[in-house]
Chain A
Amino acid sequence: MTTVASGRSIWTDQRRFLLVALVPTFFFLACFYIYPTVFNLETSFTDLSLFGLRKGGEWVGIDNYVEILASGDFRRVVWNTVIWLTVVGVSVRIALGLALAFLLNSPVLKRWRLQTLARILLIVPWATPPVVAIVVWRWLLDPRVGAINATLMSLGIVDQPVAFLAERLWVWPALITIITWNTLPLVTLTFMASLQSLPEELLEAARIDGASRWQQIRYVYLPHLKPAIIVMVLMSTFWTFNNFVYVWLVTGAGPGLYTNVMATEVYIQAFINGRFGFSAATGIIMATIMTIFGLIYLRVVAERELSEEQT
């Protein structure tokens, strides 16, 4: 193939490559995301149960949706998912991530030669698989053998061991602590990378103008960090809202169903109660909420990714 005659062959070669490149990707995505979602939508209008799995369920119209939306339990589930898990969980993570990024970027640490050590140790919680994180935190929080209760008792802060994961007062703060511990490094590292790309001139200019430390944060650092914060808020929202494993393995949605969230509700209805139709309807509601968030995310991220490619 020579350059002179290849005008056409480059074009056909590109088309052949596009087939090789895109067909496998969309085969997997279609089979994995689209087909099950369509199947789910269909199931959500039936009373399909675990026992009737082979013969299929009866068509019940929108009964499942009516039952879900009328139920007080579901309002509790939505509240837990949106307020506790997502709003509180994500805010805590972003706030601590910012604070930690500022702390670890401090010139003091560089002078004390602690920066590399800090970066390496910061990775550890992130490199801990969630199941291991859950196991070790369940031990830490255990009323009988756990280190946290032992420390609190020896310091005289409490007289009786606190069953953090069984008491309504403590169960949400405990869950959020575990999730935050496991996911904080990623957020912190992203903010640290963003802080390091801040042009020195901006800071210099702010100092010459006599900006106080808080003014520097407010008018120089935060505007610079804004894109990183937006992406991290969106990504964290997906990860937490959609996450099943933390709540299920830490509390099993308990005590009772006190910490039940949408992901665990979908699982419980299908695999514990055997109500696949009802579970599918819950899943469709959940997917709809995430689709709205997904569209916001696409506006922010995909636009930026592709618009840079076009130039």
Chain B
Amino acid sequence: MRTSAFRFGARFDLGLLGELTIVAGTLLVLFLLVYPTAWVIVASFRTPETMFVAGRWEFTLDNYVALLNSGFWRNIVNSLGLCLVSVAISTVIAVNAAYAFSRLRFPAKRSLFASVLFGQTFPWIVLVTPLFILCARLGLLNNWLSMIFVYVAVTLPFSIYLLVGYLRAVPRSLDEAAIIDGATQLQIVWKIVLPIMLPGIVATATYAFLLCWSEYLFALALLTQDEMKTMPLALYAYFGENVTEWGSVMAASALTTLPTLLLFLPLQARMTSGLAAGSVKQ
């Protein structure tokens, strides 16, 4: 018996034809899944004239040059700065909160944790109008502080939820030993638990970053000045009603996708290797 006979389908001897069908089917599905994104990246290096012509191919960097000259670098800086600052604040708050929910006993813990999770299920669109009105009245439209505030609040529930999950894999004996050694709670979290759950924190921060990076709705409502817009807003602006500047659209799309692709690939290895493995390694 082959070792692989344990998995699904192996007992039913598929034969070479069956195997080829599965392989071909998988490749077809993968092609369909990858094609749209791959096309964006390829098209961003083609001249707008040859972009939609099969078989004709002219390599160019003009799309990127034109895009950056039109001020898109400003949107890149906006997106990067806003997302990095928001994620840093949100992750620090979430690490403390997740530790409290995971390890400490306090009154109303269940209801408080439930209310954090509830944030994940709440429709953002319902918050947009009141936030817009409030910001408009307080003169906080087109203001980085209000955007950072929104992105921290948006990422907190999910970050806390994920970190509570990661903390479960961290042995409690470590914290207990540290308490006996006289460490304070803050020291335990940031000096003893942090190094162990660093992979989990990195994964959580990555998710939070991606959430901010592709966020469109709050940015649409709260950022109205062109020079303050984030990448998704600016990208869609090139996608005009009548004349679409395909060269700029494709280059902007590729630049918006690149960081998320680069961040996701290492993340997937962690997801499949499992949370337990990450903490056992220490």
A129 touches B104 (CB 8 A): no
Interface residue SS majority, chain A: helix
Q: Does A159 contact B (CB under 8 A)?
A: no
Contacts of A103 in B (CB 8 A): 22, 25-26, 29
Contacts of B120 in A (CB 8 A): 238
Check A114/B127 contact, CB under 8 A, given A17-B186, A135-B253, A301-B117: no
Q: Does B140 contact A (CB under 8 A)?
A: no
B14 touches A108 (CB 8 A): yes
Partner of A107, one of B7, B127, B184: B7
Q: Does A106 contact B (CB under 8 A)?
A: yes
Contacts of A185 in B (CB 8 A): 33
B92 to chain A, nearest CB (A): 9
Q: Does A66 contact B (CB under 8 A)?
A: no
A25 touches B8 (CB 8 A): no
Interface residues of B in 69-124 (CB under 8 A from A): 93-94, 96-97, 99-102, 104, 106, 109-110, 112-124
Q: How would residues 105 to 147 of chain A score, 1 for a CB under 8 Å from any chain B CB and 0 otherwise?
A: 1111111101001111111111111111111111110000101
Complex Cα distance, B273 from A193, in Å, reads 9
B192 to chain A, nearest CB (A): 13
Q: How would residues 24 to 67 of chain B score, 1 for a CB under 8 Å from any chain A CB and 0 otherwise?
A: 01110110011011111000000000001010000000000000
Partner of B26, one of A104, A203, A207: A104
Check A308/B112 contact, CB under 8 A, given A1-B182, A200-B6, A290-B123: no
Contacts of A241 in B (CB 8 A): 123
> Can you name the residue of chain A whose Cβ is closest to the Cβ of B7?
A107
B37 touches A128 (CB 8 A): yes
Partner of A122, one of B6, B30, B112, B115: B30
Q: Does B202 contact A (CB under 8 A)?
A: no
A157 to chain B, nearest CB (A): 17
Q: How would residues 20 to 40 of chain A score, 1 for a CB under 8 Å from any chain B CB and 0 otherwise?
A: 111011101101110111011
A39 touches B134 (CB 8 A): yes
B160 to chain A, nearest CB (A): 7
Q: How would residues 136 to 164 of chain B score, 1 for a CB under 8 Å from any chain A CB and 0 otherwise?
A: 11000000000001101110110011001
Contacts of A283 in B (CB 8 A): 123, 125-126, 129
Contacts of A109 in B (CB 8 A): 22-23, 26
A129 touches B256 (CB 8 A): yes
Q: Does B261 contact A (CB under 8 A)?
A: yes
Interface residue SS majority, chain B: helix
A28 touches B232 (CB 8 A): no
Check A28/B152 contact, CB under 8 A, given A43-B130, A263-B123, A283-B123: yes
Contacts of A267 in B (CB 8 A): 125, 128
> Can you name the residue of chain A whose Cβ is closest to the Cβ of B261?
A127
Check A36/B100 contact, CB under 8 A, given A106-B9, A107-B8, A244-B217: no
B268 touches A123 (CB 8 A): yes
Complex Cα distance, B33 from A36, in Å, reads 39
Q: Does A91 contact B (CB under 8 A)?
A: no
Q: Does A276 contact B (CB under 8 A)?
A: yes
Contacts of A39 in B (CB 8 A): 130, 133-134
B100 touches A18 (CB 8 A): yes
> Can you name the residue of chain B whose Cβ is closest to the Cβ of A130?
B214
Q: How would residues 268 to 304 of chain A score, 1 for a CB under 8 Å from any chain B CB and 0 otherwise?
A: 0011000010011001101100110110011001100
A252 to chain B, nearest CB (A): 10
Contacts of A203 in B (CB 8 A): 6, 8
Q: Does A8 contact B (CB under 8 A)?
A: no
A53 touches B137 (CB 8 A): yes
> Can you name the residue of chain A whose Cβ is closest to the Cβ of B130?
A36
Q: Does A71 contact B (CB under 8 A)?
A: no
B8 touches A132 (CB 8 A): no
Contacts of B161 in A (CB 8 A): 305
Q: Which 7 A-B pairs have the closest CB atoms?
A: A32-B153, A17-B185, A129-B214, A36-B130, A21-B96, A107-B7, A127-B264
14 contacts between A and B (CB under 8 A): A21-B96, A22-B97, A32-B149, A105-B8, A128-B257, A131-B235, A133-B36, A136-B37, A138-B239, A139-B246, A189-B271, A244-B217, A287-B122, A305-B113
Q: Which residues of A contact B (CB under 8 A)?
A: 1-3, 6, 10, 13-14, 16-18, 20-22, 24-26, 28-29, 31-33, 35-37, 39-40, 43, 48, 53-54, 100, 102-112, 114, 117-140, 145, 147, 150, 181, 184-185, 189, 192-193, 195, 200, 203-204, 207, 213, 216, 221, 238, 241-242, 244-245, 249, 262-263, 266-267, 270-271, 276, 279-280, 283-284, 286-287, 290-291, 293-294, 297-298, 301-302, 305-306, 308-309
New A-B pairs, 20, CB < 8 Å, besides A147-B39, A184-B33, A305-B161: A33-B118, A33-B119, A33-B127, A36-B130, A102-B8, A114-B23, A124-B33, A129-B210, A131-B256, A135-B40, A138-B239, A207-B11, A221-B8, A241-B123, A270-B129, A270-B132, A283-B126, A290-B122, A306-B109, A306-B113
